[in-house]
């Protein structure tokens, strides 16, 4: 059993096939997309594979320690960075192949014209706990 992070990017991933920004969709298309995402998560709970899912605001700021007794230094919002995470889903599955299968299904979410976005999702395995038997 292994946990994987499925990452959705606002920016930084290769271009999707159906690459129309969401703000140019019709409200019905947006609804259909939202419903797909929520049904997908519900199905994963049902199959016993769901761990977590969150969407992130595109606004973000870099923060840095600036020495004792001094306020944190901030930088941003980082409009210039090329990579921007939109959200994630964490799944707990039996195999890497199953993780690929689920990510591909998620990437088929409908976008403009009700057609699948074919969006690129990033899959990242979790670092797990060490096994007891190693020799």
Partner 1 sequence: MDALQLRELTPAVIGVLVRRGVDFVCAEDAVQEALIQASLTWSVGMPEDPKSWMVTVAWRKFLDAHRAESSRRDREERVHAEPPPGPTETADDTLQLLFLCAHPSLTPNSAVALTLRAVGGLTTWQIAQAYLVPEATMAQRISRAKRTVSGVRFDEPGDLPTVRRVLYLIFNEGYTGDVDLAAEAIRLCRQMVRVASQRTHDAEPRTHDTESDGLLALMLLHHARRPARIGSDGSLVPLALQDRSLWDTSLITEGVDILQRALARDRLGEFQAQAAIAALHADAQRVEDTDWVQIVGWYDELLALTSSPVVELNRAVAVGEADGPAAGLAALAFVDADIPRRAAVSAYLHEKAGDLDVAARLYAEAARSATNLDERNHLIKQAARTGTLRQDGNDTSTINP
The answer to whether residue 6 forms part of the interface with partner 1 (CB under 8 A) is no
Q: Which is nearer to partner 1, 78 or 96 (CB)?
A: 96
The answer to whether residue 129 forms part of the interface with partner 1 (CB under 8 A) is yes
Parallel/antiparallel/unpaired status of strands 122-125 and 2-11: antiparallel
The answer to whether residue 52 forms part of the interface with partner 1 (CB under 8 A) is yes
Run of H or E residues at 34: helix 27-46
The least CB distance from residue 89 to partner 1, in Å, is: 12
Distance CA 93, CA 100 (A): 10
The answer to whether residue 94 forms part of the interface with partner 1 (CB under 8 A) is yes
Residues 6 or more apart whose Cβ sits within 8 Å of residue 19: 117
The least CB distance from residue 58 to partner 1, in Å, is: 27
Supply the DSSP symbol for 85: E
Residue ranges that bind partner 1, judged by CB under 8 A = 1, 3, 44-52, 92-94, 125, 127-133, 135
């Amino acid at each position: 059993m292994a946990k994987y992070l499925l990452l959705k990017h606002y920016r930084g991933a290769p271009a999707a096939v159906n690459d129309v920004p969401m703000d140019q969709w019709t409200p019905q298309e947006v609804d259909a997309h939202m419903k797909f995402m929520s049904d997908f998560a519900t199905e994963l709970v049902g199959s016993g594979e769901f761990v977590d899912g969150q969407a992130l605001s595109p606004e973000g700021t870099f923060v840095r320690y600036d020495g004792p007794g001094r306020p944190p230094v901030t930088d941003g919002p980082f409009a210039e960075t090329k990579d921007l995470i939109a959200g994630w889903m964490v799944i707990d599955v039996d195999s890497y192949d199953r993780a690929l299968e689920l990510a591909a299904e998620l990437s088929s979410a409908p976008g403009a014209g009700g057609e699948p976005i074919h969006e690129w999702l990033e899959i990242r395995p979790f670092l797990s706990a060490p096994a007891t038997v190693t020799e």
